Amino acid sequence: MGIYKEEHDIFRATVKKFIEKEVIPNIEEWEEKEEIPRAFMTKCGEMGFLGMWMDEKYGGLEVGFEYTAVLVEEFGKVNAAMAVVGSSDIIAPYIYDFCTDEMKMKYLPGITSGKMVPAVAMTEPNTGSDLKGVRTSAVSDGDDYIINGQKTFITSGNSCDFVIVVCKTNPDSNSLSNAFSLIIVDDGTPGFIKGRKLNKMGMHMQDTAELFFEDCRVPKTNRIGEEGKGFKYLMAELQKERLIMVMWGQAMAEAMLQMGIDYAKSREAFGQPIATFQHNAFKIADMATQVQLGRSLVNELIIDFIAGNNIVTKVSMAKLYVAEMANDVAAKSFQLHGGYGFMEEYPIARYYRDIRAQTVYAGSSEIMRLVIARSLGIEPT
């Protein structure tokens, strides 16, 4: 069973043309400035790339997930997927699926037009995957919440117009099922402080920041869904986020494989292309096999997601395999480039840096192994 039809192929051609014109010539500048211009996001909005799956009244096109998959694959090949799908396909669903109509109209049209940049703040300095350690609190005070706490590693934290904050609203609870809520905090709210841009090893074009909340008062109408249901909402949307990360990692792996092949065919040593040396030829063969296995797994996963099947275990397997595989392909392609792989003028240098994050965000490889083990009836200690 195939995923794409003729209309998806036509859309892919449009996306490729857009990337050639608007992305590739600007990547170096975005990397240097460590941000993606608002003007680019509005262009994506004008093209209809942002939140295509949403209802038309929110600015969407009401199309299937196949179109999102095309976007992730094509932007992933140039390692710029987060710029397009981060806000509209990872963060916006929290609002679309669990907020009131009033809240949807307040935020979603801004996301689909590219005029509003959202963020989601879960991670804290001493808390990553272990949500029981979240300390950011939201204390009820009449019709408001008063938020205090700190978040870190927040994508678009510096440039966001609003942030969805994971807060503890039931401090006496020891259960994830009723301890947390998701609350929207708008930029400019007193007590909401954007910290420094974090100096990352890679992914420089995407700003990442620390956020602080000091007696930050927000109305209870800014809460997403019901109080205490934050963990439920996070788990409901996390599988799609992980699927998008898997597709992105796979696209990067495919791009890095091609970089290695192209360079090895053109670079000569001892009177012959380095690709023809048996060691390198076999290395490329191994890379191609790894990448094809990843593609088969990803395609099967996309089909399952579109069909509405439970993908928790399979997406965890894919996240684990593709993230580790893509890092291996990065190392091998880098090595094929020799000293030139260490030069910023060759894309493999940026990909080599950036791909490392795939084993950490949206659930580390270790957490994926934990999820998989539990699905097999094993409880690691």
Residues 304-326 pLDDT 10s: 999 999 999 999 999 999 999 99
CATH at residue 334 = 1.20.140.10
**202 and 303 co-located in one domain:** no
Nearest to 365 by CA among 327, 310, 311: 327
Query: pLDDT confidence of 138, banded at 50, 70, 90?
Result: very high
Answer yes or no: do 223 and 323 share one domain: no
Whether pLDDT at 279 is above 70: yes
Quick check: is 57 in a domain?
A: yes
Which two structure tokens, joined as six digits, stand for 277? 């040396």
User: How far apart are alpha carbons 298 and 104 in whole angstroms?
Assistant: 31
Return the closest-CA partner of residue 163 out of 182, 135, 137. Answer: 182
Looking at the predicted structure, is the pLDDT value of residue 133 above 90? no
- Of 74, 124, 241, 254, the catalytic one is 241
What pLDDT, on a 0 to 100 scale, did the predictor assign at position 306? 95
Q: Find how far residue 191's CA is from the centre of its chain.
A: 28
Q: Which amino acid, residue 360? A: V
Percent of the chain with pLDDT over 90: 85
SS3 100: coil
Average pLDDT rounded to a whole number, residues 278-289? 97
CA dihedral 229, 234, 239, 243 (to 10 degrees): 160
From CA 124, how far away is CA 147, in angstroms rounded? 14
- Using the predicted structure, report yes or no on whether residue 127 has a pLDDT greater than 70: yes
Task: Output the DSSP codes for 39-62.
Answer: HHHHHHHHTT-TTTTS-GGGT---
CA distance 69 to 250: 11
In this structure, the answer to whether residues 32 and 79 fall within a common structural domain is yes
Question: Residue 243 class from Cβ within 10 Å (0-12 exposed, 13-18 middle, 19+ buried)?
Answer: buried
Query: Does 152 reside within a domain?
Result: yes
Closest CA to 213 of 184, 233, 180, 170: 184
Question: Is the predicted pLDDT of residue 211 greater than 70, yes or no?
Answer: yes
251 and 321, same domain (yes or no): yes
Quick check: 283 and 332 in contact, CB under 8 A?
yes
Please tell me the predicted confidence (pLDDT) of residue 95.
Answer: 97
Over 60: is that where the pLDDT of 1 sits? no
Does residue 381 lie within any of the structural domains?
no
Same domain, 207 and 288: no
Largest CA distance in the chain: 79
Q: Is residue 380, in this structure, part of any structural domain at all?
A: no
Co-location of 245 and 191 in the same domain:
no
Q: Which of 36-40, 132-136, 153-157, 363-367 has the lowest mean pLDDT?
A: 132-136
The more confidently predicted of residues 205 and 337 is: 337
Record the pTM: 0.93
Look up 214 and say whether it is catalytic: no
The larger pLDDT score, comparing residue 367 to residue 84, is at: 367
Mean pLDDT (the chain, rounded): 94
Last residue of a domain, one of 203, 228, 253: 228
Which of 197, 228, 259 represents a domain boundary (last residue)? Answer: 228
CATH of the domain at 73: 1.10.540.10
Measured distance CA(118)–CA(49) in Å, rounded: 16
The Cα–Cα gap between 172 and 333 comes to 51
Q: What are phi and psi of 80, to 5 degrees?
A: -135, 30
242: in domain: yes
239 and 275 in a common domain: yes
Give the angle subtended at the CA of 123 by the CAs of 118 and 128, to the nearest 5°: 145
Q: What is the pLDDT of residues 234-274, one digit of tens each?
A: 999 989 999 999 999 999 999 999 999 999 999 999 999 99
End-to-end CA distance of the chain: 40
- Do 196 and 283 reside in the same domain of the chain? no
Task: Indicate the helix (H) or strand (E) that contains 181.
Answer: strand 180-186
Same structural domain, 371 and 239: yes
**Residue 308 region by backbone torsions, left for phi larger than 0, else alpha for psi between -120 and 50, else beta:** left
Q: 240 and 158, same structural domain?
A: no
Which one of 180, 204, 228 terminates a domain?
Answer: 228
Note whether 24 and 43 are same-domain residues. yes
Task: Evaluate whether residue 56 is within a structural domain.
Answer: yes
Q: What's the CA gap between 129 and 319, in Å, rounded?
A: 15
Could you read off the pLDDT of 70-114 as tens digits, one per residue? 999 999 999 988 878 888 999 999 999 999 999 999 999 999 999
Q: Looking at residue 94, what is its pLDDT?
A: 96
Residue 216 inside a domain? The answer is: yes
Contact 221, 47 (CB under 8 A): no
CATH of the domain at 193: 2.40.110.10
- Whether 310 is in a domain gets the answer yes
Token pair of 160 as six digits: 């966001």
- Dihedral sign from CA coordinates of 50, 54, 59, 61: positive
Total domains, the chain: 3
- Kindly state whether residues 28 and 150 are assigned to the same domain: no
Range of the domain at 143: 119-228
Question: What are the φ/ψ torsions at residue 282 (nearest 5 degrees)?
Answer: -70, -35
